[in-house]
Structure formats: C-alpha cells, structure tokens
C-alpha cells in the first residue's frame, strides 16, 4: 500500500505540474497575431557552402514540421546554392496558429559538424538566419503609392518560357523605411509584384511590432518573441547529437528527430518560457 501510494503521489505531482504549465497561457491576453499565417525567411550565413547546406537542412526541418501540423507551405522566393544548399528561401505557412507556433524561431541558428566537403574530419561552425513574420493584412499596414519605388528587370537563373526573356522581375523599395523586396520566381510581372507586396507588408508589420516591443520598459532577458536576431539562439551539435536553445537553456539529444520536423518539445518550452517571463516568474 505504501509503495502504491508513493507511486500515486509521484504521478499526481507530475500531472499537477503539467496542468499548471497548460493553464499559464490562459492567464495572459491572447495575442491576435498568433492566429495569423507566417512568412518564414531562411538565409545562409557565415560558412560558405556548409552554411547553405545547413540552410537547406533548416528548410527541410520546417517543411516536415509544417506537414506534421497539417498546414500548407507556399514558396514565395527560393535561391539555390551549390552542392544542393539553399542561399535563401522565403515561404508562407498557412494554418491555424502558424505564426504563434513559429514566432520564436527568429534568430541565428548555428551548426557544429564535419562538413561533407571536409577531408580531414575537422568540425566546422556555420550559421543560418531565420526570420518569422506575421502575414500582414492591408488594414495592418497602410502603404501609400508615393512611398514606393518600383523597378522591373530581367529575371536571372534557370527558367523556361517568359523567364530571362522579359522584364518580369520586380524590385520594390519602401522609401520611408528603406526596406527593399525583390521577387522574380513568378511568371509575370504582376504576379511578382503581388508576392513582393505581400513580403513588404509582412516586414513592415514586423518592424512596427519590434518598435512597440522595444519601447516597453522591461526587455525580456530571454529575447523570446522580441524579434532580436543578432544573437545565436540555438546550436545544432552533430557530433554529440545535441540541440541547445541558448535563450532558455533547453537541451535535447534527439537531434535526428528535431531535424525531421519533431519541433514541438522545443517550441512548447519556448512558449512556456515566454509566458513565465510575461507573468514575471
């Protein structure tokens, strides 16, 4: 009986902790941005070809995560690197709660591993950047035509009919903010303009949200949800099969699972840390 009671106490204490973690988000007002679709931008950073290969790994990781949640991914822009890497990938994630789940992925992601191009087995450190923006609606960001400079040019890279033969690529400059968006993946100039405006609105909304958060009297020490992408937020260590999120000290050795899209343990921990920070715990 004593043994059974001890086991029951341990089970109930674990259940209490789990329920408390689930209840904490209910103590905060719901952020309506969490319900939005997300614009995700992945770019290779320092590290040359290895950085581009790591960016491709991140692209696959998020694609698998999106598939596991039943969301959809729509490519906005994609630029391939050498050896199967990715220089830049911009895509929209459509689904309930997409931005709320992915918003904490913004930052510099660092990888430590032996590159495929390394002949002497030395471990290299490379990086890729991830930016996650809420999809902006026209009512969120008012863009005046007079504030835009639109340039058209001929697309570059591989393509078929109408690509490389007409001035279908579009570059939009938002003069007040200095933001520049280029788009050439679509077949027509109009389609490229629509996609470019979609990205521009998302970036302007992200800029506005970041300014509002920076104006708050208390800056969150963990940098969770602030949009600060200057610090390395996460390290992927392949020799030790370890992933560490430096903002909250979260570590898991299921690197293969994470890279296959099983991101929920990391994302749930980040969400909880964000809630606890806002509650002042």
Q: DSSP for 18-45? A: HHHHHHGGGGS---GGGGS-EEEEEEE-
Output 11 or 72, whichever has higher pLDDT: 72
Q: State the average pLDDT over residues 148-154.
A: 89
pLDDT tens-digit readout, 206-216: 888 877 666 54
Reading phi first (left if > 0) and then psi (alpha if -120 to 50, else beta), residue 157 is in left
Does residue 120 surpass a pLDDT of 70? Answer: yes
* 255 and 243 Cβ atoms separated by less than 8 Å: yes
Query: Who contacts 248 (Cβ-Cβ below 8 Å, separation ≥6)?
Result: 222, 224, 269, 270, 273
pLDDT tens-digit readout, 161-193: 445 557 788 999 999 999 999 988 888 888 899
Distance CA 150, CA 234 (A): 37
Query: Who contacts 117 (Cβ-Cβ below 8 Å, separation ≥6)?
Result: 49, 50, 83
Does residue 45 surpass a pLDDT of 60? Answer: yes
Does residue 256 surpass a pLDDT of 90? Answer: yes
Distance CA 279, CA 25 (A): 9
Sole residue written with tokens 């969400």: 271
The whole-model pTM stands at 0.75
* 255 and 239 Cβ atoms separated by less than 8 Å: no
Domains in the chain, start-ordered, CATH in brackets? 26-136+220-279 (3.30.70.1660), 145-211 (3.30.160.20)
Distance CA 46, CA 212 (A): 30
Using a pLDDT cut of 70, give the percent of the chain over it.
Answer: 84
Distance CA 47, CA 36 (A): 33
Does residue 81 surpass a pLDDT of 60? Answer: yes
The whole-angstrom distance between residue 148's C-alpha and the CA centroid of its chain comes to: 27
Q: State the average pLDDT over residues 129-141.
A: 83
């Amino acid at each position: 009986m004593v043994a059974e009671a001890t086991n029951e106490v341990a089970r109930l204490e674990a259940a209490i902790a789990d329920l408390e973690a689930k209840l904490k988000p209910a103590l905060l007002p719901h952020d309506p941005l969490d319900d939005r679709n997300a614009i995700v931008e992945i770019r290779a950073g320092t590290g040359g070809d290895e950085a581009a290969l790591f960016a491709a790994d991140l692209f696959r990781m998020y694609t698998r995560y999106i598939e596991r949640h039943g969301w959809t991914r729509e490519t906005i822009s994609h630029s391939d690197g050498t050896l199967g890497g990715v220089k830049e990938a911009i895509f929209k994630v459509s689904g309930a709660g997409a931005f709320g789940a992915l918003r904490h992925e913004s930052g510099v992601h660092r990888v430590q591993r032996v590159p495929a191009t390394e002949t002497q087995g030395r471990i290299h450190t490379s990086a890729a950047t991830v930016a996650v923006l809420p999809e902006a609606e026209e009512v969120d960001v008012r863009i005046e035509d007079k504030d835009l400079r639109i340039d058209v040019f001929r697309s570059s890279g591989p393509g078929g009919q109408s690509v490389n033969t007409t001035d279908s690529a579009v570059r939009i400059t938002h003069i007040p903010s200095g933001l520049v968006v280029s788009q050439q993946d679509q077949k027509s100039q109009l389609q490229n303009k629509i996609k470019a405006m979609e990205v521009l609105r998302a970036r302007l909304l992200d800029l506005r949200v970041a300014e509002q958060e920076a104006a708050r009297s208390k800056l969150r020490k963990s940098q969770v949800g602030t949009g600060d992408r200057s610090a390395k937020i996460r390290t992927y260590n392949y020799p030790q099969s370890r992933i560490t999120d430096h903002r909250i000290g979260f570590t898991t050795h299921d690197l293969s699972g994470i890279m296959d899209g099983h991101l929920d343990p990391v994302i749930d921990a980040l969400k909880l840390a964000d809630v606890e920070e806002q509650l002042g715990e």
